[in-house]
Amino acid sequence: MAEPRVVLYGVGYQGSLAARMLLERGVDIVGAIAQSDAKEGRDLGDVAGLGRTTGVIVRRDAAAVLSQSKPDIAVVAVTNPLPDHKPHLETCARAGVNAITISVESLYPWPSSPDIAEELDQVAKEHGVTITGTGFQDVFFVQMVADLMGAAHRIDRVVGRSVYDSDDGGPELARRFRIGTPAKLGGPSASTASRASAAPSSLGKTSLYALAAVTGLTVERVRSEHRIEIAAEPMKCKSLDRVVEPGQISGQTSIDRMFTREGVELVLEVTGQLAKPGMTGVTNDWTIHGDPTLKLITPEVPGDVGTCTQMINRIPDVISAEPGFITIDMLPPIRYRHSLHV
Q: Per CB under 8 A, does 157 bind a copy of itself?
A: no
DSSP characters for 111-140? Answer: TT-HHHHHHHHHHHHHTT-EEEE-SHHIII
Residue 342 in contact with a copy of itself, rule: CB under 8 A: no
At its nearest, how many Å lie between a copy of itself and the CB of residue 35?
A: 26
The rounded distance, in Å, linking the Cα atoms of 173 and 301 is 20
Count of chain residues binding a copy of itself (CB under 8 A):
49
Neighbours of 228 (CB within 10 A): 24
User: How far is residue 5's CA from residue 13's CA, in Å, rounded to a whole number?
Assistant: 21
Binding a copy of itself (rule: CB under 8 A), the pick from 67, 224, 283, 298 is 298
CB of 293 to a copy of itself, least distance (A): 9
Determine which helix (DSSP H) or strand (DSSP E) holds 165, and give its type and residue range.
strand 154-165
Query: For residues 91 and 132, which CB has a smaller minimum distance to a copy of itself in the complex?
Result: 132
The single-letter DSSP state of residue 197 is S
- Contact call for residue 278 and a copy of itself (CB under 8 A): no
Among 150, 186, 187, 277, binds a copy of itself (CB under 8 A): 150
Determine how β-strand 283-291 pairs with β-strand 154-165: antiparallel
CB atoms under 10 Å from CB of 39, counted, come to 19
Residue whose CB is less far from a copy of itself, 270 or 301:
301
310 binds a copy of itself (CB under 8 A): yes
Question: Of these, 129, 193, 312, 321, which contacts a copy of itself (CB under 8 A)?
Answer: 312
Contact stretch for a copy of itself (CB under 8 A) within 5-13, 162-170, 172-180, 215-223:
215-223
Q: How far is the CB of 284 from a copy of itself (least distance, A)?
A: 10
Long-range contacts of 332-335 (CB under 8 A, 24+ apart): 333/143, 334/134, 334/138, 334/139, 334/143, 334/310
149 near a copy of itself, rule: CB under 8 A: yes
Q: Cβ closer to a copy of itself: 136 or 177?
A: 136
Going from the C-alpha of 15 to that of each of 150, 158, 297, the distances in angstroms are 35, 33, 28
Stretch that binds a copy of itself, among 55-63, 108-116, 145-153, 270-278 (CB under 8 A): 145-153
Q: What's the burial of 305, exposed, middle or buried (CB within 10 Å: 0-12/13-18/19+)?
A: middle
Query: What gap in Å lies between CA 135 and CA 298, rounded to an integer?
Result: 16
Q: Can residue 21 be called a binding residue for a copy of itself (CB under 8 A)? A: yes
Interface residues toward a copy of itself, by CB under 8 A: 21, 24-25, 136, 138-140, 143-144, 146-155, 214-217, 262-264, 291-292, 294-302, 305-306, 308-310, 312-313, 333-336, 338
